[in-house]
Amino acid sequence: MAMEKEINLKKNLGFFVSTSIVIGTVIGSGIFMKPGIVLASTGNSTMAILAWIIGGIITLASGLTIAEVSVKIPKTGGLYAYLEEVYGKLWGFLCGWVQTIIYGPAVIGALGLYFGSLLAGFFGFAESSKIIIGIITVIFLGILNILGTQFGGFIQGLSTIGKLIPIVLIALFGIWQGEFPVLNMGSGISHEISMGGAVLATLWAYDGWMNVGFMAGEMKNPAKTLPIAIISGIMVVIIAYLTVNIAMFHVLPASQIVKLGPNAAEAAATKLFGDMGGKLLTIGILISIFGCLNGKVLTFPRIPFAMAEDGFLPASRSISWIHPKFKTPVGATISQMIIAILMMTLGNPDRLSDIAIFTVFSFYGLAFYAVFLLRKNKTENHLYKVPLYPITPIIAILGSIYIVGSAMLNSPIDALISLCITLVGLPFYWKAKSKTQAKTIAKAS
């Protein structure tokens, strides 16, 4: 039955769309908001750039590692599918549960609200309208992606090009016309320096690259396309992050970047291009968030879809329903939209997303370690092997351990809440497992 559903998903995603999903789901608002945070944590511009490089190395090591896992397990569901295949259904379920109930909808809701707030401010609408705008945007993208992955993929490709335009302009003109030294600029902050906090901030900005793995079952040639898309997408993101940071350091004093915080990029654009530059950058950020939101709406429903195929969610038959004409996971998409909209109206999805990050990175570490187990089992793979093995996967694993450890030390309550949310899913798993066993016994008798 699961195999039949896998075949029914339309395989129409190629290299360009897959790569744009990686770029689009990573580059949202972080590239414009994180420079000040990283700079404040490191104390000077040289160490800030080093933090972005370290974060990029960890992310690239993670991408190179997961690419081998994805080639050996090219299934729709991404992280959920990988863990289920390597560690068994329980670990796959727990990972998918957290992403389905909290992480995916919370991120969609947060991006929707941020997009609504920025759009309302741009046109002078009341602040209260941000929820309505955000909900309408989420529903609009949900409908488009239900009508066919080619529509969502088209938006993803177009928005990725659109969001790269302001990034390229700031990078090129900032490096060309800037007057301040890039290296060794003091941040003006006297509090304790934390290189660890700076790297952690960059890793949040780099997160999202694994989402393309959720779409493996809909790629024309996942074994070939997926690793190349992951690696090339991450490389584009690293270059974009580094060049924008260098340009901003060249245009604005480090102390001003820290003081302006999320408004530093707009100030840099205004200085480079005049008042119109600030407005154009706002449009660029809107395009960036819109594309990032579309990437989440396109990819996150594949997690509950994969889980529902295995019968591990309530109303699995409805959630795993594929539209007979469009061949898209309608039930899973609608379920994610409902939870996301509920979060947008009842709570702060940013906090929920932060809580979920702790658990998600715990599962990331398990996925990276899976490459050792797959090689130990001598799983054949002639298409792609992670370079510099075993150093590359070890770097990825250490990066995950660092994130989880930092979260436990800095936010122990959030870590505890995340653990509780994970454990709440166990009764649903046991119930689904008992039903499966009962059906197996009934068939045997």
Tokens for 70? Answer: 């994805």
Residue-wise pLDDT for 188-207, tens only, equals 665 666 777 788 778 777 87
Residue 440 pLDDT: 64
Is 330 in contact with 145 (CB distance < 8 Å)? no
Residue 133 pLDDT: 92
Tokens for 156? Answer: 């993803």
Task: Express as a percent the part of the chain with pLDDT over 90.
Answer: 8
Domains of the chain: which residue ranges? 15-438
pLDDT at 136 over 90: yes
CATH 1.20.1740.10 describes domain 15-438: yes
Per-residue DSSP letters for 120-176?
Answer: HHHHT--TTHHHHHHHHHHHHHHHHHHH-HHHHHHHHHHHHHHHHHHHHHHHHHHHH
Q: Alpha helices of 330-425 — where are they, by DSSP H?
A: 330-346, 349-376, 391-410, 412-424
Residue-wise pLDDT for 55-82, tens only, equals 888 888 888 888 788 778 877 667 878 8
pLDDT at 30 over 80: no
Q: How far apart are CA 404 and CA 397, in angstroms?
A: 11
